[in-house]
Structure 1
Amino acid sequence: MRVKEVFAQAERINFGALPPEIDDLLQQGVAAYRHDRATADRLFRQALSQNPSELAPYYCLYKIHTYMGSLDVAAEVATAGLKEAVRQAAWSEDPREWPDGNLDSDGPGRFALYTLKALSFIELRRGNRETALEFLDILSKKDPTGSVGWTVVGELANGLV
């Protein structure tokens, strides 16, 4: 393997087991984000439209829009990703009805918890503190050890950070 190929492999983000064409679009989007956010958005949306059951494109989209301050778009995409994750996990759309306790370290259930954490952060940034606190309260019951990192958002919400 040539040095360039080794370097290219080392820079790839591990999105998990994805169809190669979806992974390629996401990798291109990550690289594009550094210099062309519109192209990154287009590539992530293309990946999502090609396979709306893959969760990684939702993550990429809501993450970049949160970073860019496009919080309405971030909330919309995160909500859609959350809906797809709970469908795959065969859970209720009401997060208060999700199973309590720690889940597998991978899969749609974990994605749902992580995305609810992301939504709590997005809502906090949008000035919807009560909604953020409601999501954080749910996360405290569904992920009591804070494995998806919701405790950091909780500290932000309570002005501790």
Structure 2
Amino acid sequence: MSRGNAAGQPLIELRFSPDTINFGDLPEEIDALLQQGVVAYRKDRAAAEALFRKALDAAPQALPVYFCLYKIHTYQGNLDEALSAARRGLEEAARQAGWRSDWRAWTPGPLAADGAARFALYTLKALAFIHLRREEPDAAAEMLRALRVLDPSGAVGWPVVAELAEGLR
């Protein structure tokens, strides 16, 4: 699973060197593919995406793979691809958390420091950001309203996206 903390720090954190990312508890071969993708991203984004997709094919239950995919596509401005990867990651995280696939049906509960539930809320925040980038403020606002209820302390960092949304008005 992905890692994060109650202070709202990222689910993925640096470990030892900038080229090694702590993706949490993953099978060794999946972690290796993600690590290779992170290194490849600096020089060959297509190779990085291919490595992340290979990891997804091998382990569609591995939530950090979705994170990698929606992050690289967001960074590159491939917002349709980012949206697709984030939606799929959200669906998988909800399944793993035992939640309904429609985030609108989620109810507030305790938020663990890591795990599928936290990843689901973090990815909902990412989706709000992607919608802002796609100039879809109403979709972003709906997600941010849900996050205010589901994560009132802002542990997954949604207040930053809410501030961006406010600045765009």
Tell me the TM-score normalized by structure 2: 0.87
1:148 to partner: Cα distance: 0.6
Query: Over aligned residues, Cα RMSD in angstroms?
Result: 1.6
Out of 69, 79, 82, the residue aligned to residue 87 of structure 2 is 79
Alignment gaps of 5+ in structure 1: 1-7
In the other structure, the counterpart of 1:108 is 116
In the other structure, the counterpart of 2:138 is 130
Amino acid at match of 1:146: G
Residues of 2 paired with 1:56 and 1:101: CA distance? 23
1:88 to partner: Cα distance: 0.5
In the other structure, the counterpart of 1:3 is none
The yes-or-no answer on 1:157 pairing with 2:162 is no
**Partner-residue secondary structure (3-state), 2:22:** coil
* Map 1:54-93 → 2, pairs under 5 A: 54-93=62-101
In the other structure, the counterpart of 1:14 is 22
Q: Say if 1:102 and 1:144, in contact at 8 Å, map to a contact too.
A: no
1:99 to partner: Cα distance: 2.8
**Partner-residue secondary structure (3-state), 1:53:** coil
Q: Which moved more, 1:115-124 or 1:102-111?
A: 102-111
Question: Would you say how many aligned residue pairs link Structure 1 and Structure 2?
Answer: 154
Structure number with higher helix proportion: 1
Structure number with higher strand proportion: 2
Residues of 2 paired with 1:64 and 1:40: CA distance? 9
In the other structure, the counterpart of 2:128 is 120
Residues of 2 paired with 1:140 and 1:117: CA distance? 11
Identity among equivalent pairs (%): 59
Alignment gaps of 5+ in structure 2: 1-14
1:94 to partner: Cα distance: 2.0
Higher Cα radius of gyration: 1
Q: Which has the higher contact order (CA 8 A, sep 6+)?
A: 2
**Partner-residue secondary structure (3-state), 2:112:** coil
In the other structure, the counterpart of 1:28 is 36
Residues of 2 paired with 1:75 and 1:101: CA distance? 26
Out of 17, 35, 44, the residue aligned to residue 52 of structure 2 is 44
The yes-or-no answer on 1:96 pairing with 2:104 is yes
